[in-house]
Structure 1
Amino acid sequence: MCGGWVGVAETRRTRVGRPPPAHHDCGSITARPGRQTVRAVFRHLGAVPADLLDHLYRESCCVRGGAPDHRLSLSKRHGYARRRLEYGRVARRRASRDSVIQHPYVVVAPAETLHVEAWPGDGRPIALVPGLFGAAFTFRKVLPLLAAQGFRPIVIEPLGTGFSSRPPKADYSLAAQSRRLAAVIDSLGSGPVLVLAHSLGAAIAFRLALDRPDLVRGIVSLEGGPTEEATTPGFRSAMRFVPWIKLLGGINLIRRKIRGMLLDSSGDRSWVTDGVVLGYTLGEARDFDATLRTLLAMSRAREPAKLTPRLGDITCPVTLVVGTAPHDGDVSPQEVALMNHALVSFAVDSEPGAGHYLQEERPAAVVSAVERLAERVPPR
């Protein structure tokens, strides 16, 4: 999913005075006075780390008494959370202390640290791999449902995403990302695992299953095909305009573009709220300069080998879940046919009316797909 960043570059060509698109209206976060912003964020910011909610409540006190045109600087006030220790089930509710996330960071190489949210317990381990956008936050609805069904979720944010580190000279190829996932699973002693991957995360999961079949018992791909590169030609072209992004609004510009991308990628758009947009960009806002450098590095990454000719070597069962509503970022019929022909054990589930972010629109259906896959996996 690179549409959000392509849209950022296109902003440079927008004429001054042109009315904004419908989904960028004055209801956006940055167009509200501070007090209204805080209320909007708290109203919609469900299931985020409790320590981050505490931080937001403390920062909200700074808004009182401001001038009528006061603006809450989201990039400064909300962008520096260092750790995400607990999940809250709903807005304004704290998670219980028995759900403390373990192993918040795992060092896989010098300057390469992955943010990991591993739930406690002895349930069936399942590694969750987000795509380019959303990081661990995108799975907040799915995690408690998986735990309730006897799974032990382990969310691994790939290098350069979420709260993982962003070294500018690292190898951001999908092959390198899969090796880092293997290093995390090895370090936690959790393998073999089921893998639930969204979008680009599925391309990483496929490579992990090829290179380390001993670590992967099965894969549920949420709208993710056998992508050959981490970025699209449009994404790489958009990176020419990176120097303009900060001049045109920085992180607030990114948030507006991410909002538009999420809306265009959805069947049911009701989940795209101010709080969600904030959650999807927290890691990027923490060090915006590093985020831009990382995106440039991703656009230059090259894969050491093609994935498509090797799909037949993936022996674990794979389930692809797709949404049927017209939306951006879908898996093409050609990719579905390719997987059906090449993979040893392959199934397709479809969710009527859903879009690209199935974990947001249909979390219960996602968990059901995981349970069905688990039934197809031979016992250890």
Structure 2
Amino acid sequence: MPHRRTASSPGNLSIYRTSVGRDAVARWCRDRLDAWPLTHERHEITVDGAVTHAVTAGHGDRTVVVVPGTNTCAAVQYPLVAALGRRCRVVAVDLPGQPGLSSGDRPPATDRLAWYGRWLGQVIEKVTHGPVTVLGHSLGAAVALACPAPQVEQQVLLSPAGVVPLRVTPGVALAAAGWVVRRADSGSRRLLRVMHAPGNRPRAELVEWMTLVARHVRSSADPGLLPVPDRDVRRTVAVGAADVFLPPSRLAPHVRRALGVEVRVVDDAGHFVTDERPDAVAALVDG
């Protein structure tokens, strides 16, 4: 499927170090989507000046909009999209300002999460019809919480950023530093193992992706804390039992206070719960 270039030439606002790197990331994403053994369609829309890429798959009266976390995109999320596509229609979006097929320019630094929330609301208006469920992971969960769209009737928030500061242990910091410095599969694999539950082996495709990101992308930081949402929608919050950034015991009291719900714990999963337990995550959309 032909696509036009997804971002302007890298500059001060771009997440990409070079135009060559930007093109390498885009090529990798398209190659992976081409290889999906899943019928899907790809769309490009412009929202608030930002080119936005979305993948749709599955069928049904219900639509789930998937918003990924930092340094991930739809092309990396085949296990989750496939699991959801067996239940409903899925729209998986790439966040502008994150590596993928959407714009590589960072959103405004001031009130960035508010900008993302408005962006998501406009995406929902353009690519869905009727009530939707938004499933957000990490940064994507923070974006979901910031979204004021009235079409959203349910939020499934996985390892949500923005509720409590992420815990960064010395082991995580060391693995992250090695990933940035080495820019090789060995560093990516080590970091991903820290972010997975013990015994869960990161997919080779995910290792390859993280190496590509290390080489070509200036990663963004924790989005900071969100104000308590003023919209009362049905919410499910879940976290991997071995999440190194957001241990359930740390996350649960903050979620209870801010959102008024109990955290569900997904066994045998770490921070990459969407990749480690995609079927368990897909089941959460049923409430």
Q: Structure 2 residue aligned with 1:328, among 241, 244, 263?
A: 244
Q: Which residues of structure 2 form unaligned runs of 5+? A: 3-20
How far apart in 1 are the matches of 2:37 and 2:71? 24
Question: Larger radius of gyration, structure 1 or 2?
Answer: 1
Identical residues among aligned pairs (%): 23
Q: Which residue of 2 aligns with 1:95?
A: 37
Matched length: 260
Q: Structure 2 residue aligned with 1:263, among 184, 193, 199?
A: 193
Q: Structure 1 residue aligned with 2:156, among 217, 220, 224?
A: 220
Aligned in 2, Cα 1:343/1:299: closer, same or farther, shift over 3 Å?
closer
Q: CA deviation at 1:94?
A: 5.7
How far apart in 2 are the matches of 1:76 and 1:201? 22
Tell me the alpha carbon deviations over residues 207-253 of structure 1, each in whole angstroms, 9 at most, x when there is no partner: 11xx22x1211111111143478x9999xxx9xxx9xx6xx56xx35
Aligned in 2, Cα 1:179/1:259: closer, same or farther, shift over 3 Å?
farther
Calculate the TM-score normalised by the size of structure 2: 0.74
Q: Structure 2 residue aligned with 1:339, among 252, 255, 261?
A: 255
Instruction: State the structure with bigger RCO (CA 8 A, min sep 6), 1 or 2.
Output: 1
Q: CA deviation at 1:162?
A: 2.8
Q: Which residues of structure 1 form unaligned runs of 5+? A: 1-49, 52-74, 374-380
Aligned in 2, Cα 1:266/1:81: closer, same or farther, shift over 3 Å?
same
Q: CA deviation at 1:351?
A: 2.0
Q: CA deviation at 1:271?
A: 3.3
Q: Is 1:153 paired with 2:90?
A: yes
* RMSD of equivalent CA atoms: 3.7
Q: Is the 8 A contact 1:322 1:330 kept in 2?
A: yes
Tell me the alpha carbon deviations over residues 167-223 of structure 1, each in whole angstroms, 9 at most, x when there is no partner: 257447121111111111111243531011111211111111xx22x1211111111
Matches within 5 A, 1:223-372: 223-227=159-163, 252-253=183-184, 256-280=186-210, 288=216, 291-292=217-218, 295=219, 298=220, 307-308=226-227, 310-311=228-229, 313-325=230-242, 327-331=243-247, 333-344=249-260, 346-371=261-286
Q: Which residue of 2 aligns with 1:199?
A: 138
Tell me the alpha carbon deviations over residues 231-290 of structure 1, each in whole angstroms, 9 at most, x when there is no partner: 9999xxx9xxx9xx6xx56xx35x5443322110111444314322113455676xx2xx
SS at match of 1:141: helix
Q: Structure 1 residue aligned with 2:125, among 166, 186, 196?
A: 186
| Greater helix fraction, Structure 1 or Structure 2 | 1
Q: Which residue of 2 aligns with 1:114?
A: 52
| Greater strand fraction, Structure 1 or Structure 2 | 2
Q: CA deviation at 1:366?
A: 0.8
